[in-house]
Structure 1
Amino acid sequence: MTRSPRRPPGRRFGHLLGVYGLLALAALLFLAFSLALPDTYPTLDNISAVLSNQSIPAVLALGATIPIATAKFDLSIGYGLGLAHVMAMQLIAVDAWPWPLACLVVVLGGAVVGAFNGMVVEFARIDSFIATLGTGSILYAVTGWVTDGARIVPGPHGLPAAFTDLYDSRFLGLPVSACYVVLLTALLWLLLERLPLGRYLYVIGSNPRAAELVGIPTRRYVVHAFVGSGVVVGIAGVLLAAQQRVGNPSVGLDYLLPAFVGALLGSTTIRPGRANAVGTLVAVVVLAIGLAGIGQLGARFWAIPLFNGATLLVAVGMAGYTARRQVRQRPKEPPRALPDPPKVTS
């Protein structure tokens, strides 16, 4: 029985750092802020508030992870989030729809938007950045048309308690919204890591030409990835409506950058070099710990976008470095012998 060659100590340390480095950073950040703010930071109330406040960005980051697995980017998720939460408020607070039906329609609407994005990208052959930025602008226009540029405020009776409990209730002492994040992470992990669909998405993302040669219908699976992203965006919109209880036509744009920071930073950990659900969750935890800490330290209002933007640059740089490092570490195949040239007979 032959044993696989052991990695050199330096390479083994680099591998462990790539897999668990971000998780270790989360622990170090929490320890540092706990020492700096011992009376307010390491408390159950603060942890509960952080979990609750960061649940919607986490859900949106998980939604962005699905197309990234195919090397596509959905820049419409922020605009889609704004439209989804506005539509939920419109249907429940203004049109008096039963809230379960309104939520279902919003989630299905997110799937339709995702399918449209996927078809524009794959069948119109438009780059995903440009295509989803264009569809996002259309979604923003629809949001403005629905709200006429004003907020949607519920009547004197407010929203149904069962609807707001989707966000406000607790489960096992934790905010139920945090439980949604854990459940969604588990479902995406199962989809991407254990089911054939996830393997197909990864193959398409790493080498679409090779995926076509082995018979994978790349266009269909890319559309599926965008549909999955749209469904998650619809769910996030429902949660945002239950949280804010007011329809704000411009609120979705605030979630776009944190979502991509979490998704791209997550691709540098747990499974370095590829988008993965657990890595995205770890990245969101790091962002949540950092944002809560700098907020409690009394940072100015511009510190949060500065933190998000700098972290995005670091995430993109680390993702590129990890991908290049994996390519360098792959064993090189011996060069194939070229066939002899045909003999020319006179």
Structure 2
Amino acid sequence: MTAPPSSPAPPSRPRRRGPAAHHIGAYGLPALTVLLFLVFSLLLPRTFPTRDTVHALLSSQSIPAVLALAATVPIVTGAFDLSLGYGLGLAHVMVMQLVVNERWPWPWACLAVVAGGAAVGVLNGVVVEFGRIDSFIATLGTGSMMYAVTGWVTGGGRIVPGPQGLPPAFTDLYDSTLLGLPVPAFYVLVLTLALWLVLERLPLGRYLYVIGSNPRAADLVGIPARRYTVYAFTASGLVVAFAGVLLAAQQQIGNPSVGLDYLLPAFVGALLGSTAIRPGRPNALGTLVAVALLAVGLTGIGQLGADFWTIPLFHGGTLLLAVGLAGYSARRLRTGADAPREAPAPSPVPPSPGQDGGTPGTTP
């Protein structure tokens, strides 16, 4: 007789958080946004919780929100589009050039610029995927080329409308209201819902997420990763061009130096948004929440009388925090630690007498 062998230890399973912790991770950022709004409302009761402040938030943050959504799409595939700021500057300058100097009807000018933005997105995607160049380097190079085109079109100066100004219908794209709210807020809402639908409910979105999380697995299951990555950059370029149209309608002047100031807020919103709603995954609703948090924070800080240099400080610090939190959420998602706790697996049943050639505790 020999001593009965000890039963093998069950395989270790990733430690899973409970439902409460999971909800805190998913909805902590929206809760923080609400809390921050309440704090500034208590500190600035006469200026912050007013209709004018809300109206200004919805209007002034529409372009940063659109750009953040544009940055989100390539990030889903694991790529970064650093040409966003340059593309925004070129798009708004081209709208002004076509409307003011070339005398195009403004609808045709806007359509041509949006189509050109999509073409730039295709170029970025082709350079990244078929040229096998890192997305940081590739989009920085194409962005610098776009900045050169912007300077060539404007001659280094500004494009100023004549005494008659711009067509009122064109400026109304940004200045008008709907249901008492700025129209640009509805653009952001529609774009967010469209992006959410594509990423969360359509096969295209699932393919993009697979490419971003595991390109090798995407190839093994037959997903054409290169083609879908080009699609992602194309969508990003199209949305950036749309933001350029809004910027032209807002500023009503062609400024070749504008655009780069929007690059950092766009990436802060996109990366910070990947820690909310769907932690560890870039998503449209999370990006929208992140932009709202940044808008509330910057507006409150501004009304408290902070100096101008606090804005880049706020954006830079938030970017570092966003990258750290996004990486942490992605690691927890890969290990399964961010999933809700499930019922424990049943213990393995020991073999009954007679199985495996004998009775436990005896040698055959």
**After TM superposition, is the score higher than 0.5?**
yes
Percent sequence identity over matched residues?
72
**d(CA) in 2 for partners of 1:132 and 1:161?**
35
Q: Distance in 2 between matches of 1:200 and 1:81?
A: 28
Contact 2:16 2:336 in 1 (8 A): no
Alignment of 1:163-242 (within 5 A): 163-242=170-249
Offset of 1:21 from its aligned partner?
0.4
The residue that corresponds to 2:260 in the other structure is: 253
In the alignment, which residue of structure 2 is the partner of 1:75? 82
1:106-145 mapped onto 2 (5 Å cutoff)? 106-145=113-152
CA shift for structure 1 position 9: 9.8
1:7-46 pair list within 5 angstroms: 11-46=18-53
Match among 62, 77, 80 for residue 55 of structure 1: 62
Following the alignment from structure 1 to structure 2, what is the Cα–Cα distance between the partners of residues 328 and 204?
18
Structure 1, gaps ≥5 residues long: 1-6, 332-346
1:268 matched to which residue of 2? Answer: 275
Q: State the partner residue of 1:150.
A: 157
RMSD: 1.4
1:335 alignment partner in structure 2:
none
| Paired letter, 2:279 | P
Larger Rg: 2
Aligned length: 325
Provide the secondary structure at the position in 1 that maps to 2:260: helix
Residue 95, structure 1, aligned to residue 95, structure 2: no
Shift in Å, 1:177: 0.3
CA distance in 1, matches of 2:309, 2:279: 31
Deviations 1:97-140 (A, max 9, x none): 00000000000000000000000000000000000000000000
Residues of 2 paired with 1:97 and 1:276: CA distance? 37
Structure with greater helix percent: 1
Which of 315, 319, 328 is the aligned partner of 1:308? 315
Amino acid aligned to 2:63: I
Which residue pairs with 2:333 in the alignment? 326
Equivalent position SS for 1:97: coil
Q: TM-score, normalised by structure 1?
A: 0.92
Secondary structure of 2:81's partner? Answer: coil
1:328 Cα deviation after fit: 2.8
Measure the CA separation in 2 of the matches of 1:11 and 1:315: 24
Does the 8 Å CA contact 2:15/2:336 hold for their aligned counterparts? Answer: no
Give deviations 1:183-215, integer Å, cap 9, x for gaps: 000000011111111110000000011001111
SS of aligned partner of 2:56? helix
- Is the partner of 2:316 in helix, strand or coil? helix
Q: Per the alignment, in what secondary structure is the counterpart of residue 251 of structure 1?
A: coil
